[in-house]
Amino acid sequence: MKRLAIRVGLAVLGMAITLTWWTIHRGDSHTQSSSRIPDKVWSGGHTLEIEVESTSAATMRVSFSQHDKPAGEQQTLETYEKIAAGARSWTIDVPAHVGGYIEIEAQKPNPGDRLAMKVKSNGKLVDQQTEKLDQPLQSGYAFFLQVHYDDYSNAGSENEESGAGSSSMSLTLVPRSAYLSKLRPTS
């Protein structure tokens, strides 16, 4: 019985040491975040243009995920900016094989508020959305526009080739839990 207690104690101690080691030495992270949408991502090479308009304050989010490296070695950059009501635009130099989400979310919108977004890849319009909030938001719901591309440099071609590789959402009343992603800062 004493030996069994010693073995259990050593197992628990070993587990505690291992978890402590993993907590302190997390290893290299390939994910970065920024509270500013950049002009250039990594080596660049292709142009991504985003134009948005909001009648209320909003948060603009753009994520960048590298897809030409093996899993575990892919770089990810998650960016966001708080913006005032009005029109804003970004021109971002992005490399090939990098895709992600583009999203604008209204902060504390009122009925009648509008969101609009245009996305161009290498000068070609690849997505255009407009949405108006018709009723007050219920608690826990969000008003936003979102689009996803597997490869920003090839976004126009993705839409033409059977729709694979891209998806677009123009959503008004969606529970936050239905669309939360890891780039969403807690507020």
pLDDT, residue 69, reads 84
- Whether 39 is covered by a domain: the verdict is yes
Q: Could you read off the pLDDT tens digit of each residue along the chain, which spans 187 residues?
A: 778 778 777 777 677 777 666 666 555 567 899 999 999 999 999 999 999 999 999 999 999 999 888 877 889 999 999 999 999 999 999 999 999 999 999 999 999 999 999 999 999 999 999 999 999 988 889 999 999 999 999 987 754 444 445 555 544 455 554 444 333 333 4
C-alpha distance from residue 21 to each of 24, 25, 26, 30 (Å): 5, 6, 8, 19
61: nearest Cα among 93, 100, 22: 100
H/E stretch holding 18 reads helix 2-24
CATH number at residue 102: 2.60.60
- Whether 135 is covered by a domain: the verdict is yes
C-alpha distance from residue 134 to each of 58, 115, 126 (Å): 17, 12, 26
- Whether 173 is covered by a domain: the verdict is yes
The CA distance from 51 to 178, in Å, is: 25
pLDDT, residue 163, reads 43
Which tokens go with 181? 């992603």
Whole-prediction pTM: 0.74
pLDDT, residue 27, reads 55
- Whether 117 is covered by a domain: the verdict is yes
Residues 6+ apart with CB under 8 A from 16: none
- Whether 22 is covered by a domain: the verdict is no
Residue 134, domain extent: 29-178
Backbone phi and psi for residue 132, each to the nearest 5 degrees, phi listed first: -120, 135
- Whether 52 is covered by a domain: the verdict is yes
- Whether 72 is covered by a domain: the verdict is yes
Question: Number of folded domains in the chain?
Answer: 1
- Whether 1 is covered by a domain: the verdict is no
Starting at the edge strand that comes first in sequence, how are the strands of the sheet with 124-132 ordered?
A: 86-94, 46-54, 114-121, 124-132
pLDDT, residue 29, reads 65
Buried residues in 110-149 as b, exposed as e (16+ CB within 10 A): eeebebbbbbbbbeeebbebebebeeebeeeebbbbbbbb
pLDDT, residue 180, reads 42
**E strands, 16-139, in order:** 31-34, 46-54, 58-66, 76-83, 86-94, 98-106, 114-121, 124-132
